[in-house]
């Protein structure tokens, strides 16, 4: 799978920062004898697991131009987060700092399937979301440094970036608090008769929050166009999913709301399932996506991540199994 190959290359470059030579070599191999940028090609992705809904097609249409832009965005995200890591360790960045490296394919694939008229809300792991929603590396890093030129004028810091003009509603510091807010934003789209959805992102740790189920109940009752996206990186802070969730099949947790599980390390699989979910949400109502991904750092910069990851994970960067 081309999308998976791209992200595996990024994984190699990010987990061992000095091995960045993997990335240019991978890029040359992918695009050396490529067709024209706009020629449509079909790529088959891994099977999807489903709950109360038919699975989307496994054949994803793309082109070299789109793949190239996806690759550039994921690379930019990774290098920015590694830079943030270094600056935090140098005590140039203070306070909290939650990195997104390892999960780049999730956000990149989602953005490829929606428009800037669709809304996006997420947790405190939000640096890369600022990039895809009208921001840039300079104002993201400035925000981390607490500068007035930052994404939120240096007042929000790592956890509270947002861009209302680009329909990016944060960056929310309280675990799971963004979930009911996302349902409210999606309701606003429906109330205004706008053909748009709200992508509401949360982690496997937040999936056990009671407010999530209250939100889903009203979203289902009112047929609100909300796409609930569980980024399952397998560790809520320092607790593995098998220790915190009796049912780790998060895509089935909505019960009466349909769900789909996809490989969150494959940018094309994420693009395909998100496009499918958007169509469903606009026509029917809420839907849950569980995107199986992996967090390469600890929960935050104060967490080395070495006490609960296995030695095998740390040494070999284990990627999650396909659903």
> Under DSSP, is residue 215 helix (H, G, I), strand (E, B) or coil?
helix
Give pLDDT, residue 294: 87
Residue 19 burial (CB < 10 Å; 0-12/13-18/19+)?
exposed
Give pLDDT, residue 14: 35
pLDDT in tens, the chain (323 residues): 444 444 443 443 333 333 333 344 545 555 555 667 889 999 999 999 999 999 999 999 999 999 999 999 999 999 999 999 999 888 898 888 999 999 999 999 999 999 999 999 999 999 999 999 999 999 999 999 999 999 999 999 999 999 999 999 999 999 999 999 999 999 999 999 999 999 999 999 899 999 999 999 999 999 999 999 999 998 877 788 888 888 899 999 999 999 999 999 999 999 999 999 999 999 999 999 999 998 777 666 555 555 556 666 656 554 444 43
The residues spanned by each domain of the chain are: 2-316
Tokens of 311: 């030695």
Tokens of 208: 């056990």
Give pLDDT, residue 95: 87
DSSP code for 238: T
DSSP code for 207: G
Residue 243 CB contacts under 8 Å (≥ 6 apart), including other chains: none
Specify which residues 94 forms β-bridges with.
none
Angle at 190 between CA 185 and CA 193, to 5 degrees: 130
Instruction: Look at the domain 2-316 and name its fold.
Output: Rossmann fold (3.40.50)
Tokens of 157: 């810091």
| Inter-residue contact 61 to 52 (CB < 8 Å) | no
| Inter-residue contact 228 to 256 (CB < 8 Å) | no
Give pLDDT, residue 315: 61
The string over 187-219, giving b where at least 16 C-beta atoms fall within 10 Å of a residue's C-beta and e elsewhere, is bebbeeeeebbbbbbbbbbbbbbebbeebbbeb
């Amino acid at each position: 799978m081309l999308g998976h190959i791209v992200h595996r290359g990024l994984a190699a470059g990010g987990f061992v920062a000095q091995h960045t030579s993997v990335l240019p070599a991978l890029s040359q191999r992918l695009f050396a004898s490529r067709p024209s940028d706009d020629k449509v090609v079909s790529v088959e992705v891994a099977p999807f697991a489903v709950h109360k809904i038919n699975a989307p097609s496994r054949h994803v249409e793309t082109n070299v131009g789109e793949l190239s832009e996806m690759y550039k965005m994921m690379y930019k995200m990774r290098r920015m987060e590694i830079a943030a890591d270094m600056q935090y360790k140098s005590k140039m960045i203070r306070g909290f700092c939650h990195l997104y490296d390892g999960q780049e394919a999730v956000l990149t694939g989602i953005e490829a399937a929606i428009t800037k008229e669709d809304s996006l809300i997420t947790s405190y792991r939000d640096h890369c979301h600022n990039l895809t929603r009208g921001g840039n590396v300079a104002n993201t890093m400035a925000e981390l440094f607490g500068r007035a030129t930052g994404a939120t004028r240096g007042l929000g810091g790592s956890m509270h970036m947002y861009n209302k003009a680009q329909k990016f509603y944060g960056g929310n510091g309280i675990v799971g608090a963004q979930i009911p807010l996302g349902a409210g934003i999606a309701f606003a789209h429906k109330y205004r008769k706008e053909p748009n959805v709200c992508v509401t992102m949360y982690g496997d740790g937040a999936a056990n929050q009671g407010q999530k189920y209250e939100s889903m109940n009203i979203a289902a009752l009112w047929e609100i166009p909300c796409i609930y996206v569980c980024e399952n990186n397998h560790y809520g802070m320092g607790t593995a999913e098998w220790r915190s969730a009796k049912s780790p099949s998060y895509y089935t947790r909505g019960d009466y709301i349909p769900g789909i599980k996809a490989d969150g390390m494959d940018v094309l699989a994420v693009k395909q399932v998100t496009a499918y979910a958007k169509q469903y949400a606009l026509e029917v109502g809420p839907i849950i996506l569980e995107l199986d991904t992996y967090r390469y750092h600890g929960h935050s910069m104060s967490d080395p991540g070495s006490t609960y990851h296995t030695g095998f994970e740390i040494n070999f960067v284990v990627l999650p199994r396909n659903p």
